[in-house]
Structure 1
């Protein structure tokens, strides 16, 4: 009876050591893959929002001065929208601390109102308008 009890204890301890080793290897891998998938999701959603605004700017530009369009966009992370070099852009900070810039080309000068437009993590109504006699297309984000 003593030998059987000792074998059972050794089997339980061996199983415990195996589970500890398995857990110490798989948990960091799972954590890293979750972070990577969240980065892909956030980047994809920002890309969709920026491209939606750029498409609305293209439609307003095609319709000419006096045209206006309102769309709904979602930003999954906070960031600053900007226009430079004929492109609308917004940086997305990844979980490893690096930033990825999401850009979409536009055919005309774009001004975000209010200036220094910082998008928060929420839905927005983006009003894209080219005023008659205006030298730029104005984009105003209003939280919904």
Structure 2
């Protein structure tokens, strides 16, 4: 009877050691995979926002001088928003500290605007093509 109790206790201790080893290995792997998937999700959301602004600029350009379009978009992280030549650029910083530029091409050139530091959140912007101008402008970027 004593040997059965000892065998049960040994099995319980062995199972506890196996669980501790597996937990010590898998928990860091799960944490890094969660960070990686969060980074992918943020980059994807930033790409949608940049593409929304580029699409609005293309529609305004297609409609000609005097056209205007108001769009709403979501930026998932703090970053820098830039309109340069015929590109919309948003800089994303990932969880490991690296930075990446998310870009979208447009059919038109933008009037040079100062670089804007944008915080995470929903925004509304007015994209328009002023009469007697050769470039499209993005103005009134406001948080909603």
Same fold (TM > 0.5) = yes
Q: CA deviation at 1:118?
A: 1.9
Structure 2: unaligned runs, 5 residues or longer: none
Q: CA deviation at 1:134?
A: 2.9
CA RMSD of aligned residues (A): 1.6
Q: CA deviation at 1:120?
A: 1.3
Indicate the SS of the match to 1:95.
Answer: coil
Q: Distance in 1 between matches of 2:107 and 2:62?
A: 9
Q: Match for residue 47 of structure 1?
A: 47
Q: CA deviation at 1:83?
A: 2.5
Contact 1:112 1:139 in 2 (8 A): no
Q: Distance in 1 between matches of 2:53 and 2:110?
A: 10
Q: Match for residue 3 of structure 2?
A: 3
Q: TM-score, normalised by structure 1?
A: 0.91
Are residue 125 (structure 1) and residue 120 (structure 2) matched?
Answer: no
Count of aligned pairs between the two proteins: 143
Question: Kindly tell me: are residues 111 and 121 of structure 1, through their superposed partners in 2, closer, same or farther at Cα, counting changes over 3 Å?
Answer: farther
Q: CA deviation at 1:84?
A: 2.8
Question: Kindly tell me: are residues 134 and 23 of structure 1, through their superposed partners in 2, closer, same or farther at Cα, counting changes over 3 Å?
Answer: same
